[in-house]
Structure formats: C-alpha cells, structure tokens
Amino acid sequence: MNFLSSQRLLNKMSKISELSLTKIVNGIKKKDFSSEEVTKSFIDSSKKSKKLNTYITECFDEALEISKNFDKKKDYKGLLSGVPIAVKDLFCTKNVKTTAGSKILHNFIPTYESTVTSNLWSQGAFLLGKLNCDEFAMGSSNETSFFGNVKNPYGEKLVPGGSSGGSASALAAGLTPATIGTDTGGSIRQPASFTGTVGLKPTYGRCSRWGIVAFASSLDQAGPMTNSVEDSALLLQAMSGYDSKDSTSVNKKIENYSSNLTEKIKGLKIGIPKEYRVDKMPTEIDDLWKKGIEYLKDAGAIIKNISLEHTMYALPAYYIVAPAEASSNLARYDGVKYGHRAVGKNLIEMYENTRSEGFGNEVKRRILIGTYVLSSGYYDAYYLKAQKVRQLIKNDFDKAFKDVDAILTPSTPSSAFKIGDKSDDPVSMYLNDIFTVPVNLSGLPAISVPAGYDKNNLPLGLQLIGKAFDEQTILNLSLAIEKRANFKKNYSVWWT
Amino acid sequence: MSIDKDTVKHISKLARISLDENKVESLSKDLTSIMKFIESLNKLNTDKTTPLTSIINASLKSRKDEVKDGKIRDQILKNSPEKNDEFFVVPKVIE
C-alpha cells in the first residue's frame, strides 16, 4: 500500500469511529466499509485512550479475528452484524475476565455468557472489551472501582458518573459504537447525562438479569447506552427478551422499536412533577427542563402539571432496599468458590479476611447497612417500612399515568462534578440519584437524553419516564427532544 | 439511630468482614449519617400501607423439576482459589 492510499484508509477509519451505531450497521451492510475496518477504527481510538481508564479488559486481538471471519462469511441477518461492542464489566462473558470493578473478582473468568450479551452476539455483534465501573455497580462517580476512577471526556478532572461510568466515557469518546450498562438506581441514566449520551433503563423484566453480577435483584436492570435515540431503539431491540433462566423476566413480545420510532407525538400528555423542583438545583437545570417542555409542546404534546408526592422518600427507601439486597447477594464472595482469597487461621477467619481485603470501602458500607437493617429486631422498622414506602411511590406513578402518557424531569440535579468532590461524604454522593431512583423502585422504564449544556460547557440530560413496558413512547418523545435540542458533542480531545 | 463502635463491630462480625480498629471510628460516623438520612422515612405514616413485594404484576411461574444442565463439576471448580480434583478446599473445620 502506498502512502496516499494508507493515508486515505486512516482518514476513513477515524471517521468510522465518529459514526452512530445505526450508520455503522448500515455501512457494513452496504459494504461502505468492512467489519474489519470498523473494528480497527475502534481499537485504534481505544488504544489511544489510556488516560480515560475506561477498559478493564481489552479483547482487541480476538475482536479483530472475529471481524476478519465476518468479512469472509458476510452474514448480514442480525440487527448488529459485524459490529464490535465493549460492555460494562458486570456482564459475565464466557472465557473473558469479569471483575465487577472489584478486587474480590479480579481473576474471575466465567464459564458461561450472560443472556443479554449472548443476545447481542446472536445479532451479529462481538466483544471489543470490558469496561470499568464502580465496584459491584455501587457508586455514582466511578471512583469506587478497584481499577481506578474513569475520567470524563469533558474534562480530565471530572467524573463520568456511575456506576456505568466506563461505558459512558468510552461511548462519548468514540471508543465503542454503543455499549450496555446496568441501572439499579440511575447507573445508566446519570452517567449518560454527565457525558452527553443517551441511556435507557428498560422496564424491570424486559431484559434478562441472568449472568449479570447481582447488586440489588429487585432493582437491577440492563439497558442500552448509545450516541443517539435511534441507536437506543436498535440496541434495546437486540438485547431484550424473555429468558426462562431469570424468573423475573417477563414474557412479552419484543417490539420493533426501530421501525416504530417516530417523532410524531402530537396529542401525547406529558406530566411535569412539581416535586422534582428541588432546593439548590442550579437554575440552568430548571431552564433546561423548561426548554424540554417547549420542545415537546412544539412537537404537539400536551403538558400537564402532576404530583408525585412521595418523591422525597424514594432515596432513603432505596438506601434500605438496595443495601439489604446487596448484603445477601454479596454473601457468596467467601474466598471458596471464586475470586480473591486471603489466609486465615480457620474457616471463619479466612472468610473475614477475604471479604475485608476483597471489598472496597463503599461496598463494605453498603453490606454493613444492609446487614444492620436486616438484623434481628430491625426488619420491620427498616426493610418492611421501605417496602411500604416503595408501594406508595409506585401508587404515585400509577395514579399519574391515569392522566399522562409519560413524565418529563431533569436526569440529574447537577452536571458532572470533580473527582474527589463527594467521595468523603456518602450521603452527598447518594443525592446524585434523587431523580433516577424512584423509577427503579417502581420498575418503570426511563431514558436520559442529552438536551443542552451548563455555563461550564458540561452536558445536561432530560429524563422521560414511561408506563411499564412502554419503552416506545419514551423513545419517541426523546427523538422529538433530540431533533429540537440539536445536541452536538462539544469537547476537545485531551487524552490522546 | 446512631451506629456506635460496638454496633459496627457486631454487624461486621455478622457480615463476616474483619475490620481494622482504626477503621471502626470512621465507619461509625459514615453509617450513622446514612442511618440518619434513612430515618427521614419515620415522618411518613405507613400503618395502612401494604408492603410492595413484587414489582411485576405476575406471580412466579413454576416449572417442571427437571435437570437441564449438570455434569459441569470442572466448570464449577475452575475458578476456585484452592481445590483438589473434585472438591473445594477450605481450612480445616473439624478438630
């Protein structure tokens, strides 16, 4: 290859990694470029991104090999044919290390594949690598990972949000065409908002939890993280579906989110909950919310003021339910079956030392809170109380959805904050999820769509909450906002 | 409810996490602030509310009790930090 043609190839490759998932899928089908060219382009940008610290495990050689085989066979039947995708390191991947961002699983190599990732692979995608996240998905800033904090493309000193921070940062920086995360209290939507990307938490039961490292089983749900609403519809379609191996997976037909996607939303009723206007919220976020209302009005939606009166109790209830479930789920890490093992004089001491060395501070705090609220004599006062509050929060939504088709709120009470700013104060960190947590407690679908910037040029997102199993409506509304907000990536590349 | 140092030690025993003495103090402070935050729920009267037990409006389906996998001993043992051919190995539990 002469210099000029290799230069042309290089230009083409760098452009590929700036394309949307949908354009890449179509480009491969139309033979505008090969799967190998796509894969090389993302490997190339990923290799230059060490300073972002998004990858825990790179599968670049394997991905390249698969892409070459794909180009030989040319099977375009899947929704994601020939596309490399890096995923959050919470999804078990067969024969590829899966750490959950924890020391206690630093050497764990699953012998099985999670249902959600295997759904992606059956649609023709393949694994590019495993992305950093908060330890066991417990965190809102990606600072709790054993593998170090991830940085936000919008600033070297900024967190990408969490817990799917590695996924959000890799996506925003063009290191993967799309990615998947998990959302227990906002872990897809909050980092999406902090990085100017689209993050969707599906209805509880829409995507199988089988093979995902468990945090809080009644709240955990996997979902797509993408650069556009169109991509979100496509990836949701590829990953969701009933799975008999997850007893809470719901047997409903997978809708064709992509072909049903439309910005024609005339006549839909949108609720604006007054309880989401919180103290000390920057005026920019309030302004963005008003803009969102205008965008939807412009598209023909009808705006209605609503009340979700128990909103203020969602976060404290969450901090009973989630740690309680986590303390049970994480009991399996005992140094016997897998992962890190410490020495001890006897079995009990081995357990205690293993868990002390293996878990980080935030995970320990949550296990201890969970153990406390479930301990003898306290169950009714805490866990039962929280389940009652959860019912009240769900009732609020049920009532609201009698009058409206979807609810519009800000995604987060602030833009991305500085690394270290909140890591000493657990409660101030928890307050990040104030707008996202009620959705998890109620099992509803919600999406964060980038809608503007604050005065420091940091992205801000708007959240749309839908009725159970009505992902289509919130995707359509997001599309209407996306078209009108005309959000464009706006950072200078500092990490290469 | 404040979580004093003795309570921290008690629950870490229950959770099988050994703690350095110098960590107990800061944990007591952190856990107390988290519990204070949680206890704002006490302002809410829930006497007449039934607790939410399932978020999806469906009861769990039962299935036939048949073996669909199995014979994967080596896979199960594969990630064990200490094993012999057929077993997990743990520190001696019987004198």
- Which of the residues A35, A187, A240, A249 is marked catalytic? A187
Q: Is A88 a catalytic residue?
A: yes
Quote the minimal CA–CA distance from A83 to chain B in Å: 30
Distance CA A96, CA A82 (A): 20
CA–CA distances in Å: residue A244 to residues A92, A208, A217, B60, B61: 17, 9, 16, 11, 10
Instruction: Name the domain count of chain A.
Output: 1
DSSP state letter for A260: T
DSSP state letter for B51: P
* Mean pLDDT, 10 residues at a time, chain B of 95 residues: 93 97 94 95 95 79 85 94 93 84
Domain for residue B31, yes or no? Answer: yes
- Domain span including residue A77: 12-243+269-316+383-485
Domain for residue A369, yes or no? Answer: no
- The pLDDT score that the predictor gives to residue A154 is 98
A409 within 8 A of A273, measured Cβ to Cβ: yes
Domain for residue B91, yes or no? Answer: no
Q: Is A187 a catalytic residue?
A: yes
- Most confident of the ranges A210-224, A274-288, A426-440: A210-224
Among candidates A426, A450, A452, A453, which has minimal Cα distance to A168? A450
CB pairs under 8 A between A and B: 154
Residue A155, pLDDT above cutoff 90? yes
Cβ distance of A372 and B11 shorter than 8 Å: yes
Query: What value of ipTM does the predicted structure carry?
Result: 0.95
Task: Quote the percentage of chain A above a pLDDT of 90.
Answer: 92
Cβ distance of A356 and B17 shorter than 8 Å: yes
Q: Is A163 a catalytic residue?
A: yes
Residue A1, pLDDT above cutoff 60? no
Query: For residue A395, what is the enclosing H or E element?
Result: helix A385-403
Model confidence at A14, in pLDDT bands (50, 70, 90)? low
Cβ distance of B80 and A338 shorter than 8 Å: yes
pLDDT tens, position by position, A332-345: 999 999 999 999 99
The arithmetic mean of pLDDT across residues A139-168, rounded, is 97
- The pLDDT score that the predictor gives to residue A5 is 61
Cβ distance of B14 and A443 shorter than 8 Å: no
- The pLDDT score that the predictor gives to residue A317 is 97
Among candidates A362, A368, A295, which has minimal Cα distance to A331? A368
Domain for residue A449, yes or no? Answer: yes
A-chain residues near B82 (CB < 8 A): 341
- Domain span including residue B27: 5-43
Instruction: Name the domain count of chain B.
Output: 1
The residues facing A130 across adjacent strands are A57, A87
CB atoms within 10 A of CB A217: 15
CATH of the domain at A133: 3.90.1300.10
Domain for residue A251, yes or no? Answer: no
A-chain residues near B28 (CB < 8 A): none
pLDDT tens, position by position, A443-475: 999 999 999 999 999 999 999 999 999 999 999
Low-confidence winner among A137-141, A239-243, A414-418, A422-426 (lowest mean pLDDT): A422-426
Domain for residue A470, yes or no? Answer: yes
- The pLDDT score that the predictor gives to residue A232 is 98
Nearest to B15 among A335, A371, A391 (CB): A371
pLDDT tens, position by position, A92-110: 999 999 999 999 999 999 9
Domain for residue B50, yes or no? Answer: no
DSSP state letter for B72: -
Domain for residue A438, yes or no? Answer: yes
B-chain residues near A390 (CB < 8 A): 51-52
Model confidence at A255, in pLDDT bands (50, 70, 90)? confident
Cβ distance of A369 and B80 shorter than 8 Å: no
- Which of the residues A88, A130, A151, A422 is marked catalytic? A88
Cβ distance of B50 and A388 shorter than 8 Å: yes
Domain for residue B65, yes or no? Answer: no
A225 within 8 A of A474, measured Cβ to Cβ: no
User: Hey, what's the torsion of the CAs at A125, A436, B42, B2, to 10 degrees?
Assistant: 70
Model confidence at A281, in pLDDT bands (50, 70, 90)? confident
How many alpha carbons fall within 13 Å on the CB side of residue A286? Answer: 10
Q: Which of residues 272-311 of A touch B (CB under 8 A)?
A: 310
CATH of the domain at B35: 1.10.20
A196 within 8 A of A170, measured Cβ to Cβ: no
